[in-house]
Structure formats: C-alpha cells, structure tokens
Amino acid sequence: MRKLRIVGQRELRTDAIAKATGRVRFTADMRRKDMLTGKALFAAYPHALIKNIDVSEALRVPGVVTVMTAKDLPGRNGYGVMIQDKPVIVESKTHYEGDAVALVAAVSDEAAREALRRIKVDYELLPAYDDPREAMKEGAVRIHENHPVAEDGNILVTLKLDRGDVEEAFAQADIIIENDYETPIVEHCYMEPDVCIAEPDPLTGGLTVISPAQAVYANRRSLAGVFGIPHNKLRVVSPLVGGGFGGKEDSCLDVSAMAGVLAVKCDRPVYMELTREEVFRTTGKRHATYISHRLAATKEGKVLAVDVRTILNKGAYVSMGGMKEPLHAVTMRTLVYAAGAYHVPNARARSHSVFTNTPYACAFRGFGVPQATFAMECQMDELARRLGMDPVKIRQINMLRHNDRTITGQVMLESRGLGLGECIEKVAERFGWDKALPAAAGPVKKGKGFAVYMYGTGIPLLFEGSNCYAHLQLDGTLSLAVSSTEIGQGLNTVLAQIAAETLGIRVADVVVELSDTAKTPDSGPTVGSRSAVLVGNAVLDACAKLRERMLTVAARYMFAKTDPRDITIEDGVVSVIGKPELKQPLSAVAAKAYASQVPLAVVGSWYPPQASFSAEDGQGNPCHAYAFGAQAVEVTVDVETGVITVQRAVMACDVGKAINPVNVEGQMEGGSAQGLGWALMEESIMEKGVMRNPTFHSYMIPTIEDLPRLEPIIVEHPNELGPYGAKGVGEPATIGMAPAIRNAVWDALGIKINVIPLTARQIIKSVKEHEQGR
C-alpha cells in the first residue's frame, strides 16, 4: 500500500475562509424581491377538534395572494421520513402545537402576518398528553384514531430483544441493581432557522425546492406526492447548512411542504422561514425516555445479564420513532445498545414508542444511543460502588473484546476496529484517574466520573449504500458530486482528501458539488455518522477507477513498454517509479485519454455488508463497524447554589482512521459540549402539550463560559471496510459526557440522581431530600 500523503493530515477545511468571512450564501441569502412570503397559522391548542375555519377576512387583506386550508392542497396531505403520517395542513384535528391549520402567501411579511391574525378557528379541546406513560394507559384518549402503522392505541410500536436465559442469570447473580432513569425532550439548537424557497419550473412543469436539508433524495421521495408531481420534476437543493444535528432530516420537510404547496397554488416563487419560536414549538426534538434497568452481576464484577424496559416519548408523529419494518429507527437502537459497550451474555429488552401531544421526536445526534448508554453507564458505576471496585476497572472487566458477541449476537472483530481498551487506558492516564482530587473548601464538593460507549457506523437499512460522480477535467482537476450534505461537520474537506489521496492530486484541485437532486447521485442521508465512511468509500471507488484509467493511458501513450503498475501519480504529476525524469502532468494524460475516447467520468459506489435485525428477538448484525470511546470528567458542585461546574473533560474515541485530525477533534469537542448541555441544562418543558420555554431566553444551552478544558484523544484501530480504515465519529462524540457528569456528581455528593438535566434546582432538591433521609 502506498504511503499516505494527504489522508491523516491536518488540512484546512475547504470552506473555512469563505464561512469565516461571511461570503458564502445560505438559503436565506437567496431571497429575491419577486418572491411571495409564506406563513403558517399553527394550532392554538395541541390536541383539539377543528369545528370550523373562516378565512374570509384574511383574504381581504391587501397583498394577500392566497389562504390555503386542507381542501386546497394539490396532492397527498401527508409526508414523513419513514411514514407519511404528518399532514401538510390538518383538516379536522390537531395533534400538537406544530400542526398547520392554514397557510398564507402574500407580497410582504406584514400582509402575511395580518392575514394570520384574521383567520378564525373554532376548536373543541381534547386531553393533551406530555408523558408517554400516561398516554399508553388503558382508557387514554387516542391521539391518532386510524394511524397507518400504530400497533395498539397510542403505542406506535413495541420492539423486543432476547438473548440467553435472563431469569437463570438473575437467579445465579450475587448482586442485582435496579433503577429507573429519565432523560428529557431536547431541542437541536442549530444556528440557522428552518427556511425554504419553492419555485415553479415552467420548463418542466415541476418545482424546485431549496432548503438546508440532510437528505435531499429522501425529501424528494417524501414530498413529490404532496405537490402532485412525479419525482423527476421535483428538484431538491440543499445549500450549505447552518447546523442540523439530525433535526434537519425532518424540519426541512415541514417548511418545504408548506412553501411548496403555496408555490404550486400561486404558480409563483415562495419564501418561507420559521421564526425561532416556531422552530422550538413545531420542529422535531430528541426523544425523552423513561428507562427501567435491572442488572445482574457476580461478586467479581462480571455482568451476567440486563433486563431493560424503555418508554420513548414519540410526540405527535412517527419521524424516526420506530416500526417493525424497516427496523432502523431510534426505538431499535435503544435495544441494540441497552447493554452499552459490554459483553453481556444474557439480555432482555423491551422498547415502547408512544404517541403524545408534544413535538414529534426525530433523529438527534446519537439516535437513541445516548439515552440507552446513560442508563447502562449509571448502572455500571453503581456496580463498582457496591463492590468497592474502581469504576475504570469494572469497565475493563466487562468491555467487548475480539470475538465477543454483543447482545444482538454480532461478533466483534479487531479487523473492523476494536479500540475500546486503548480508549479507556489513554483517558485514565491523561486524566490521572489514579490520583485523588484535591479537597474543596466550604460548600463546594469535587468529584470525578467515567463512562464508555460504542456507536455503529451508518444506519442499519436493508438499502444502505452510497454513490458519487467523479469527473476528471482536462486540466487535471477533479469535480465530485454527492448528495450527502455539508452541515458544518467538514464532510466536503474529508471527501476532497480521500479523492486527492486516491487519485494522486492536491486537495486544492478537488471541488465537491453541493447537494442537488438534479446534479448529484443518491449518496444517502447525512445521518448516522455514515458520510465519511459510506460516501468516502464511494469516492475512493470512483477515484481508484480514474487512477487506473490514467495509469493505463500513460503506460500506453506516454511511457512506452512500461507496466502501469510501475507508474504513479503524485501531486498531479504522472511519473515512472524510480525514474523521476520520466514524467508528465496529469492534465496531459487526461487530454490524451480524452482524445483516445477513454471516459473521464465515472460512477463510484459502495454498499456495506447487508445489515440484519430480527423483529422476533432483536438478534442480528445492525452495523458493519462500531466506534468506541471513553470519557472522564472532573466537576465541582456548590451545595448551596446547586451549580455544577465541569472543570475538565478528557475523551478518547476510536475512529478507525482520522482522515482529517482537525475535523475529528472538532467533532469530539463539539459532541462533548452538546453532551454537557444535555446533562446539565437543556430541556424542553411541556405542560399539557404547550411548550413553556420556546426561546433562548428560557431554554438554556452551554456557552463558551460553561465549557471546561476539553482534551480529545484520537485512537485509531482501522476498520477494514472503511476508506483508509475510517469509522464514524460525529455522533459517538456526544454520548459519554452526560453519564460521566452524572457519575462525577454522585462521587462529589454521595447522592444518586437518575434524572437529567442536573439543574441547580434538581441538585438543591436532591441535597435537601438526602439531608432529610429521603
């Protein structure tokens, strides 16, 4: 194998300067004066029957072009990533605050807002559920009377996993630990609000939709029927995305559906942008969970079994809630990771996804794994305490090793990258885990916490895979086209590095097109930490084909009687190995290939080994490879104010191969920051279906002053199926922080708290209850 010259280097991101100087255009920057303004009248009540809608006064507002209700829609009144159960405009019943009751298009923002004020709606209120445990009880009012896939009342789905003999394992156990855990509804908090430009195309009779999206092809499949047009007449474009974290897999559908039907109705371009409060109230959130977790272990610290029941708050619609088929949603992953990153021979898990009247729960960085891992890592800390064993040691005893099986029965292989042990060792060493923390003064207590995790690369779909177009230009530069989206994670830089390394050119000579169904092939969605691996492999495949063609042309026409295997390409120069004087610029070889009718354009593809997961018992191989990691934190807790301060955080992540270490470290630091917010402050507060904190004044997220010193450590155990050994890193990086912080707080206070976020109010309440012996 050739020595790597570009992969593994700290390349400056290809979009860094343009973004830093504010010169790039996001969707909102593309608004034109000839575009109508689109606005939605959202439900006044989260669960209610609509008795009557009167839009007559709204239509009289000067500048209003149209007011649409459900009867005015051009096509199907339903869309969704997995199931088309979310209406564009509700007709007879609202299910949450984010349901659109009517849509307005006007020549100005002011006219559109005035029209919304004049729409009159008569409602008949129904009971609203915030808690899935209440919604799933017998006698609860049905949120969906005739949902296409719901299994039982408000229960969307119950998934199960069974491995080994759980009852026998618990009967033989020396120690049984049983706890309940709760995690909250969380907002994505991406910087760019949801926005769409929908413009009719007079040439094709179709529609162009421009919106910051994480899955342009999925959007087209979901929305074409809504607009009443065939797939090939719906062009979906995603410019640079100002943050997504999974949310813009769904939220762009919401705003695109509304803007699109208005554009079709008016036959004019429509611009629609949600306010920040509308983003809070109407778009998808992280699933809140209620987890009952039982763990059986020996007195030596070996975990024998887990028995886990998880109830997920699905919110109003399916999104990524989980169904029996295809089994690739959040509910499924709470089963797969119910035992964390450990070898547990016996497991029983049940996960229930339940409709409520809160915002629909969707993909959010980690995709159900943070919730499952939080519970397991808290259990492991308690096991260590019960045994008087070091928390690091208990994890080393039980961690997955080569040839071990997960609770789904998948065999772990070092050839796919299995660096958990090294992650644990490096974090413990860098953190100085064996050293006691210095004593704190007064009401301030100190503590340290540890956690480990694993996360599968990609999404376990039966149709998972990726494609790309690669076109070598006559000047030796390369054009790449993929539909996966640059959402701030540095994907385009990574793909440029893979392409440059494989073909033998400079990173500066590679341009990656923005996502556009008219120009790029289906590369799959930008989710599941899949892009660098699956799309990267497709790019590698394409560039390897181009390289082989250029070497063959050079051997035939440039360097007579030379074996192509004795020719190389580096920095855009084609030369004979060992004979540097025999060389030609790649542009000359490309020109000769062009003149000789050798194609300069190729399609690259890559499909992982087919995933499997049984709906009967949860057994199978959900992902081809897994990232692993460990996290240690030091915290201080002021028992008088309840304020927790994370002083230090050390993280190691086995990423297979860091294509660009700067990107990887950025993902690790960003993930840690997001995990800190989830642990300490972030929560969407619902009261009978109404969000009580729908602004950044009342919904807290970490600022730079809340972050500790973040110390990322890159560990590389190559994945034989990844491009140059890579595995995913974007989502794993967020998993370990919350359980590590919770465990550190227990260490500091000696108080076990199983509910996050660990707000000041929560801490003071727990301290007082502890002092009262409760």
Q: How confident is the model at residue 461 (pLDDT cuts 50, 70, 90)?
A: confident
Mean per-residue pLDDT, 379-384? 98
pLDDT band per the 50, 70, 90 thresholds, residue 1: low
- How many H-runs (helices) and E-runs (strands) does the chain carry? 18, 29
Report residue 720's pLDDT band, with 50, 70 and 90 as the boundaries. Answer: very high
Q: pLDDT at position 300, please?
A: 98
Mean pLDDT, residues 666-673 taken together: 97
Closest CA to 262 of 435, 93, 36, 464: 36
DSSP 205-246: TEEEEE---S-HHHHHHHHHHHHT--GGGEEEEE---S--TT
Residue-level pLDDT at 73: 98
699 and 759 in contact (C-beta within 8 Å)?
Answer: no
Question: Rounded mean pLDDT of 483-496?
Answer: 95
* Neighbour tally for 503: CB within 10 Å: 26
16-23+465-606 and 289-460+612-771: same fold? yes
For residue 774, the model assigns a pLDDT of 66
Region at 414 (left for phi over 0; alpha for psi -120 to 50; beta for the rest): alpha
Q: Cβ(745)–Cβ(635) under 8 Å?
A: yes
- pLDDT tens per residue across span 156-190: 999 999 999 999 999 999 999 999 999 999 999 99
Q: What integer best gives the mean pLDDT of the chain?
A: 96
Of residues 59, 77, 1, 65, the one with CA closest to residue 35: 65
pLDDT above 80 (res 324):
no
CB 84 within 8 A of CB 304: no
Residue 698, burial from CB neighbour count under 10 angstroms (0-12, 13-18, 19+): exposed
What's the whole-number mean pLDDT along residues 58-62? 98
Predicted confidence band at 723 (pLDDT cuts at 50, 70, 90)?
very high
By the 8 A CB rule, do 112 and 669 touch?
no
- Residue 136 banded pLDDT, cuts 50, 70, 90: very high
Rg (CA), the chain: 27
**Stretch 736-743: mean pLDDT, rounded?**
98
For residues 520 and 440, the model is more confident at 520
Smallest Cα–Cα separation from 632: which of 449, 367, 375?
A: 449
pLDDT bucket at 768, cuts 50 / 70 / 90: very high
In this prediction, residue 363 has a pLDDT band, given cuts at 50, 70 and 90, of very high
User: CATH for 16-23+465-606, among 2.20.28.160, 3.40.47.10, 3.30.365.10, 1.10.3720.10?
Assistant: 3.30.365.10
Please say whether the beta carbons of 306 and 347 come within 8 A: yes
267: left (phi over 0), alpha (psi -120 to 50) or beta: left
Dist. CA 512–CA 498, nearest whole Å: 12
Asked if the model's pLDDT at residue 488 lies above 80, the reply is: yes
The confidence score (pLDDT) of residue 284 equals 98
Give CA separation, 350 vs 20, 361, 376, 482, in Å.
47, 19, 15, 38
- What percent of the chain has a predicted confidence (pLDDT) above 90? 96
User: Count of residues for the chain?
Assistant: 774
Segment (H or E) for 371: helix 369-387
Average pLDDT estimate for 411-424? 98
Position with higher pLDDT, 231 vs 320: 231
* Residue-range domain boundaries for the chain: 16-23+465-606, 31-126+188-282, 289-460+612-771
> How confident is the model at residue 328, as a pLDDT?
75
Pick the CATH number of 31-126+188-282 from 2.40.110.10, 3.40.50.2300, 3.90.1170.50, 3.30.1490.100: 3.90.1170.50
Going 520 to 521 to 523 to 525, the CA torsion angle's sign is positive
Q: Which CATH number does the domain 289-460+612-771 belong to among 3.40.630.30, 1.20.5.440, 3.30.365.10, 3.40.605.10?
A: 3.30.365.10
